[in-house]
Structure 1
């Protein structure tokens, strides 16, 4: 076996790919089907936010991880479909979110030609400045999914809609914004009919500005992101997640802080 092929096989094995195989120029994969596409510079230390597993439905299943699409690399044929990144094992998904190839800013995400795919998946938030002195900056603090699981109907949410809303929406529709605003000391108020709570026009604008300066996001595509959420929350230190996260040392403090903010808001008049 050529050294390049042995090297790539080691990469597959080290990342828990279920059926290790070498994919190169005109390589033969497990199904026996030849594919004339080339993956340049497979590198397990530079996992992209678009990590995928591909499956050929017309032949015996084979799997291959796309670790680094670089210049000159060719895309697989359109007949290949994306399947769950969980097929690679949770450690790969963890790495893709905790140590992503790159992070994206509000300015980039909110562009008309947004880099965030209109697809299902998991997103992770890193902060250059932590929203609390008790939290570390420069690391993953929160994960979310889009869409959420719905038994009776199909959600219209996707990564692009959800991530963009976190950057420019309001606390009534974003638990991340609610958490950040409470930690930053922005006053929560009742608005509209009095049942919704946000930080008001001025407060939401201040929060959006803070996020533009400090919040960075990454993501991975996943057809059923809710199947990954519980595993990620249980195995990673995600202090800004509340749901399914009672084991986190920051959970009780954050829950209390948000509860107190709501109680104060109920005592105040409805904001215009």
Structure 2
């Protein structure tokens, strides 16, 4: 099976990960895929590096979209490139997973609206409720917490999708009704401590909107969640992989 992981990051986002001493987010998808399919062939597409018009999208069986640091509603070259690649992939009618930014890119291609959230989620998404049965959640509690970090969210969905999970802040996952497309606003692939490390790198930004004590409580919570997770966060992505 040939997998293509599309990075949601531009070059400056990659530098931010380097400066924070953090691996790129696609490495976590890569690790999970190889544990589920040891014979998998995995490539990474960085949209700021490749010739996107000549790239051989048709050579891949499964597509996965990572998180990102941008705002999909802003008119910039990174967003245009991301949306162009998404349109090319959607035309192939092949399995596609999107996490966080990936959800926002895919939903935008379908004409759905992404807006700035009234309340951002920092580090984790709490009290996510399964509101519609879906096989990838068969082994998951009906109410759960997951790694999550976003300032924007999906305001509505069109008739091609249905909402599978949500919490009081945002829609948390959607599934296409007729195609194998599944997207989460949260990050089943990311360790909580990875997010805590990035947040610590950007601490001065968070201290503009919260106190030092509030920030430290979030970091402490992330370490506790990681300690108690026991790989629960990965279950739905692993279940999705095993249906392809």
TM-score (norm 1): 0.27
More strand by share: 2
TM-score (norm 2): 0.29
Structure showing greater Rg: 1
More helix by share: 2
